[in-house]
Amino acid sequence: MTAPFGARLAEAVAARGSLCVGIDPHPNLLDAWGLPRDAAGLERFALTCVEALAGEVSMLKPQSAFFEAYGSKGVAVLERVIAESQAAGALVLLDVKRGDIGSTMAAYAQAYLAEGSPLAADAVTLSPYLGFGSLAPALDEAERTGRGVFVLALTSNPEGASVQRAVADGRSVAQAVVDAAADRNSGAAPLGGVGLVVGATIGETGVDLSRLNGPILAPGVGAQGAGAADLARLFGPDPRHVLPTSSRDVLRHGPDPAALRSAALRVRDALAAAAR
Ligand SMILES: O=C(O)c1cc(=O)[nH]c(=O)n1[C@@H]1O[C@H](COP(=O)(O)O)[C@@H](O)[C@H]1O
Task: Output the pLDDT for position 189.
Answer: 95
Task: Output the pLDDT for position 1.
Answer: 59
Task: Output the pLDDT for position 217.
Answer: 98
230 lines ligand 1 (CB under 6 A): no
Q: CA-to-CA distance for 114 and 107, rounded, in angstroms?
A: 10
Task: Output the pLDDT for position 158.
Answer: 96
Dihedral sign for Cα 48, 53, 59, 61, please: negative
The one-digit pLDDT tens for each residue of the chain (276 residues) are: 589 999 999 999 999 999 999 999 999 999 999 999 999 999 999 999 999 999 999 999 999 999 999 999 999 999 999 999 999 999 999 999 999 999 999 999 999 999 999 999 999 999 999 999 999 999 999 999 999 999 999 999 999 999 999 999 999 999 999 999 999 999 999 999 999 999 999 999 999 999 999 999 999 999 999 999 999 999 987 777 999 999 999 999 999 999 999 999 999 999 998 887
Q: What is the pLDDT of residues 47-78, one digit of tens each?
A: 999 999 999 999 999 999 999 999 999 999 99
74 lines ligand 1 (CB under 6 A): no
Ligand 1 atom index nearest CA of 155: 7
Task: Output the pLDDT for position 194.
Answer: 98
How many angstroms is it from 232 CA to the middle of ligand 1? 19
Task: Output the pLDDT for position 198.
Answer: 98
Bridge partners of 167? 172
Q: CA-to-CA distance for 152 and 207, rounded, in angstroms?
A: 13
8, 97, 147, 241: which one is catalytic? Answer: 97
Q: What are phi and psi of 30, to 5 degrees?
A: -60, -45
* For ligand 1, atom 7: residue with the closest CA: 155
97 is catalytic: yes
Q: Please list, residue by residue across 112-122, b when 16 or more beta carbons sit within 10 angstroms of its beta carbon and e when fewer do.
A: bbbeeeebbbb
How many angstroms is it from 1 CA to the middle of ligand 1? 31
Could you state, in order of their start, the residue ranges of all structural domains in the chain? 5-275
Report, at the CATH architecture level, how domain 5-275 is classified: Alpha-Beta Barrel (3.20)
Ligand 1 atom index nearest CA of 223: 18
Task: Output the pLDDT for position 144.
Answer: 98
